[in-house]
Amino acid sequence: MVYEMPVKVYQERNAVANHAGELAALGRKACIVTGRHSSRQNGSLEDVLSALKAEGREWEVFDGIEENPSVETVVKAAQAGIRAQADFVIGIGGGSPLDAAKAVALLMASRQEWEADGLEAALCYLYAKKPCPCLPVAAVPTTAGTGSEVTPYAVLTLHREHTKRSISHRIFPEIALVDERYLEGMDRDILVNTAVDALAHLIESYLNTNAASYADMFCERGLYLFGQAKEGLAAQVPPPGQYGRQLEISTLAGMAISHTGTSLPHGMSYSLTYEKGVPHGRAVGFFQKAYIDAYEGAARKERLLELMGFADVEALGAYIEGLTGRIAISREELERYTKKMMGDARKLANFPYPMTEEKMRGMFEKSLEIR
């Protein structure tokens, strides 16, 4: 077994202000990577700028990160950071800006490797299987889903391949400043979709080829806390403390998948997100029940249900469906998505049993309406 969790995580109110000195210690000038609106609305960007100002640091803001960020956008952000001569990167937002920040830090550290040859060279560099230098990254999450602030993954959209894929390099942030204040007032849809993503990380990590004690300890605590938080999440108005609990769950879930990776539902979800714009959390949620059904280890499944307080897999499936609803795809899409998933060797490897095209098609059919 390997244990690797090098991120220093502070989860507390006013985390950015409280740890401004540690943030500033990462460099002289920050390249801030964020989305267009939410970090301005929830106060996180302002907190980071105030902290940098108080510590006498400079910054450059790149606020053009879209949902499911593309390689093209990441290259633009890296070029902006290079022009500004920034020497560290701060990602602020949901999974998209945080993942983008890691890829930006990687590209900024080695401009000579790709800049002259443009997008194609950057793409090769991001997906190269060799160790590469990287600028320090800080992460300020504003959703409770991906756990990207504690994972080494950076999932980018590859338009050429009509899908999403994590870059080949493992890049952990140096520091994660986790503050529930940024979640207060978020849309319920975003709260629910991101929470389902965190749940999916726990389930896919617990029922995984790489599952072992070091990851299990994060999964078991996360599943237990999810069980405690599940009614509050399903309520129309989240009860007091719900956002902090969801952040604790998503951070634990991130620590879990850092050790195991995600499995089939994540791979199966990418076509729905790429082709139909289904939010990531909702898309992975559709496939959880079929995944648990396909997993053959009875004792582990029983423990999972017990930790979460569900009587059986049906009850867990009904709970998730209550949050995600269902969607329909066509026969043609079913065939295409099945074939694509059978080509995703990394996700298939994290499911501990042999998989056939027929079984995979069956999992899609169980999870979605087929028109």
Q: Are 149 and 8 in contact (CB under 8 A)?
A: no
Q: Which residues pair with 10 in a beta bridge?
A: 177
Exposed, middle or buried: residue 349 (CB in 10 Å: 0-12, 13-18, 19+)? Answer: middle
**Smallest distance, Fe ion to C-beta of residue 57, A:** 32
**Smallest distance, Fe ion to C-beta of residue 117, A:** 32
Q: Are 268 and 363 in contact (CB under 8 A)?
A: yes
- Asked if 99 is part of the footprint of Fe ion (rule: CB under 5 A), the reply reads no
**Smallest distance, Fe ion to C-beta of residue 103, A:** 16
- From 195-203, 238-246, 303-311, 338-346, span contacting Fe ion (CB under 5 A): 195-203
The smaller minimum CB distance to Fe ion, of residues 35 and 94, is found at: 94
> Given the structure tokens 């952990």, which residue do they identify?
172
**Smallest distance, Fe ion to C-beta of residue 324, A:** 14
Q: Tell which residue, 40, 42, 366, 369, has the closest CA to residue 190.
A: 42
- From 18-26, 194-202, 212-220, 327-335, span contacting Fe ion (CB under 5 A): 194-202
What is the size of the binding site for Fe ion (CB under 5 A)?
Answer: 1
- The string of DSSP codes covering 220-287 is HHHHHHHHHHHHHHHSSSPPTTHHHHHHHHHHHHHHHHHHH---HHHHHHHHHHHHH---HHHHHHHT
Determine the Cα–Cα distance for residues 359 and 247; give it in Å rounded to an integer: 35
> Given the structure tokens 């320090």, which residue do they identify?
136
- Whose CB is nearest to Fe ion? 197
Tell me, residue by residue from 154 to 193, as one string, x for binding to Fe ion by CB under 5 A and - for no binding.
Answer: ----------------------------------------
Q: Tell which residue, 195, 203, 279, 186, has the closest CA to residue 231.
A: 195
The smaller minimum CB distance to Fe ion, of residues 145 and 238, is found at: 145
The smaller minimum CB distance to Fe ion, of residues 197 and 220, is found at: 197
* Cβ neighbours of 203 (radius 10 Å): 31
- The string of DSSP codes covering 29-82 is EEEEEE-SSHHHHSSHHHHHHHHHHHTT-EEEEE--PPSS-BHHHHHHHHHHHH
The smaller minimum CB distance to Fe ion, of residues 280 and 361, is found at: 280
The smaller minimum CB distance to Fe ion, of residues 61 and 139, is found at: 139
- Asked if 333 is part of the footprint of Fe ion (rule: CB under 5 A), the reply reads no
**Smallest distance, Fe ion to C-beta of residue 261, A:** 11
The smaller minimum CB distance to Fe ion, of residues 115 and 275, is found at: 275
- Asked if 197 is part of the footprint of Fe ion (rule: CB under 5 A), the reply reads yes
Q: Are 106 and 167 in contact (CB under 8 A)?
A: yes
- From 102-110, 197-205, 286-294, 363-371, span contacting Fe ion (CB under 5 A): 197-205
**Smallest distance, Fe ion to C-beta of residue 187, A:** 19
**Smallest distance, Fe ion to C-beta of residue 92, A:** 19
The smaller minimum CB distance to Fe ion, of residues 164 and 169, is found at: 164
**Smallest distance, Fe ion to C-beta of residue 302, A:** 25
- List residues near Fe ion by CB under 5 A: 197
